[in-house]
Structure 1
Amino acid sequence: MSDKPKVIIHEDLCKACGLCIIHCPKDILEASDKINELGYPTTVVAKEGCIGCANCYLICPEPGAITVIKP
Structure 2
Amino acid sequence: MAKTRGTIVVDTEHCKGCDLCVVACPTDVIELHPTDVNQKGYHYARLKNDNDCIGCISCGLVCPDGCITVYKWKE
Question: Does the pair score TM above 0.5?
Answer: yes
Q: Does 1:62 align with 2:65?
A: yes
- SS of the counterpart of 2:13? helix
Unmatched tracts of structure 2, length 5 or more: none
Unmatched tracts of structure 1, length 5 or more: none
- Residue of structure 2 equivalent to 1:8: 9
- Residue of structure 2 equivalent to 1:51: 54
Structure with max Cα Rg:
2
Share of identical aligned residues, percent? 35
CA distance in 2, matches of 1:7, 1:35: 18
> What is the CA RMSD across the aligned residues, in angstroms?
1.3
- Residue of structure 1 equivalent to 2:38: 36
- Residue of structure 1 equivalent to 2:25: 24
Letter in structure 1 aligned against 2:13: D
CA distance in 1, matches of 2:10, 2:28: 14
The alpha-carbon deviation at position 10 of structure 1 amounts to 1.6
